[in-house]
Amino acid sequence: MKFRIGTAVFLSSLVCLLIADETQTVSPDQSQRSVLRKDPQPLPPEIQKFNGMLVGRLAAKDIERGTFVVNVDAVSRVWRNSRAKNPQLLVGMAVEVGNVSGKWLDVLVTTRIGETIEFECQHDGDGLRFPGELLRKVAPYKPENYPRLPEQFRGFQGAVVADIIRKDADSFEMLVKVSEVTDVWSGNKAKEPKSIQGRSLLLAGFWNRREQYHSLKPGDRITTGMHHISRQSDHVTVHEFVRKQASSSEGKMERMSDARKPSPIEKEKPGRGEEASSGVKGFRGMLVGRLVKKDNERGTFTITVDAVTRVWKNNQSRDPKSLIGQDVDAVGTPAKMLDTLIVARLGETIEFGALHDGVDQLRVGEILRKVSPVKPGDYPVLPDASRGIAGMVIAKVVKKDQQMWGLVVEIQGIQKLFAKNRAKNAQALTGKQVTLSGFWNRKEAYQKLLVGDVFRCGVDHPQFLSDSLNVIESVQKIDDSSNSLKAVPTIIGD
């Protein structure tokens, strides 16, 4: 009898211990557990069509239904396509999220009530749903890890000097503290760019710069271009370049001195260092040149530039044409383009998309191909007086470039100028040959045009430093058999 009583007491004590242990396992912080709200609240109309990421404490979960309730602590991202009027109203609310399935259910299963998660969600008209992109456990919420941007800084586009506070290797993001705004670019919409100085921000967008991201560590000082794309979001995207500077403890004067040192590519041609620097820094466009050397295994090469065939709209170089005659290094040839580099012989001519993003060389962009040696007239130069043109022109096809969806045309007349025309003398184009691009969305019209055909189209010239015009209006073939330029009724492309 005594044995049975003792056994009962022991088992009862064991059950109590297990219950107590389970209670601690579910929520180690009793004060936090007491404030968790398990019942979801009605969503305010201002968050309709929200698209972004939330951070909060898990309050309830239903694995079978694939749903969970979270108490929102922060709106960590607002994507550009979000249409919510006021996403910040979600902070402090208990919201239910559905549509969790597959591998993401494993995350939900292993997450305890009271732990903090970060996840992407969308408002689909009825409620919040998980789109299957990111759901992960994160450290407990601290306001300093999710800094709010000053209102006067929203829409910023430019360059800053900042110190890295911490990194998040899973999301390729970093928390940085801005010490100085060094440049404000033409696309900037921030009312007071310097309002960010002395404050922290979340810097994202390193997916295409992983090697650079991994080379940086907390405590490093960087100079980087950045763009605040989504005005409702508190994250900023790295843009154009990012490079390491001297550490913050080495002093501002030393950093400034180091920033003035020319890179190896700028010292490639003695006597023209300053000219080469102005061409390389911030360059974004297309270069053609003779292959001087290459390393197939590393995906690097050097060319002597013979022509600057395109200067893209987001170019920051002040003098792209100064690259002509210079030897420039290129790195980062994508794997799918290595075959082109392998078969190209020294001395042959290649064309490639070139991007300068703050390192010592140009990075290879979307295109790398062998082309014919450059001859006079292959890449026509626009008359200066016609730069900035926007209008309707009549042109004759001289040459087609099927791979680039481009044409070399002879302008036979300017029919009309648009309101956004900025050319001092658009008529200076008449009788001149120009490169016409932008047929990516007019492929059917492009294929129907043959060398010798005359057609009418709208054009503009958004990048003054480029010698290429863009097609912006309908392409209409013209019958000039009798030199009457009589329009053919059928429009062959929009």
Tokens for 245?
Answer: 């500077």
Say which DSSP state 475 is in.
Answer: B
Q: Which of 449, 471, 452, 450 is nearest to 460 (CA)?
A: 471
> Which CATH architecture is the domain 384-487 placed in?
Beta Barrel (2.40)
Count how many residues are written for the chain: 494
Q: Is 387 helix (H, G, I), strand (E, B) or coil?
A: coil
Domain boundaries, the chain: 35-142, 147-257, 273-371, 384-487
Judge whether 35-142 and 273-371 match in fold. Answer: yes
CATH of 273-371, one of 3.40.50.720, 3.40.109.10, 1.10.510.10, 2.40.50.140: 2.40.50.140
Helix (H) or strand (E) holding 162: strand 157-168
Residue type, 484: S
> Which CATH architecture is the domain 147-257 placed in?
Beta Barrel (2.40)
pLDDT in tens, the chain (494 residues): 444 444 444 444 444 443 343 333 333 344 444 589 999 999 999 999 999 999 999 999 999 999 999 999 999 999 888 899 999 999 999 999 999 988 888 888 888 999 999 999 999 888 999 988 789 998 899 999 999 999 999 999 999 999 999 988 777 889 999 999 998 998 899 999 999 999 999 998 887 777 778 888 899 999 999 999 888 898 999 887 888 875 444 444 333 333 333 333 333 333 334 444 557 788 889 999 999 999 888 888 999 999 999 998 888 888 898 899 989 999 888 877 888 898 899 999 999 999 886 666 788 987 899 999 998 888 999 999 999 999 999 999 999 988 788 899 999 999 999 999 999 999 999 999 999 988 877 888 888 899 999 999 999 999 999 999 999 878 999 875 544 454 443 344 44
Q: What is the β-pairing status of strands 433-437 and 468-471?
A: parallel
Residues near 104 by Cβ (< 8 Å), separated by ≥ 6? Answer: 130, 132, 135
Residues 93 and 96: their CA atoms lie apart, in Å, by 10
Q: What is the β-pairing status of strands 406-417 and 390-401?
A: antiparallel
Angle at 61 between CA 56 and CA 63, to 5 degrees: 135
Q: Is 356 helix (H, G, I), strand (E, B) or coil?
A: coil
CATH of 35-142, one of 3.90.320.10, 2.40.50.140, 3.40.1390.10, 2.60.40.720: 2.40.50.140
Q: Which of 442, 372, 374, 373 is nearest to 407 (CA)?
A: 442
Global pTM value: 0.46
Tokens for 421?
Answer: 């025309």
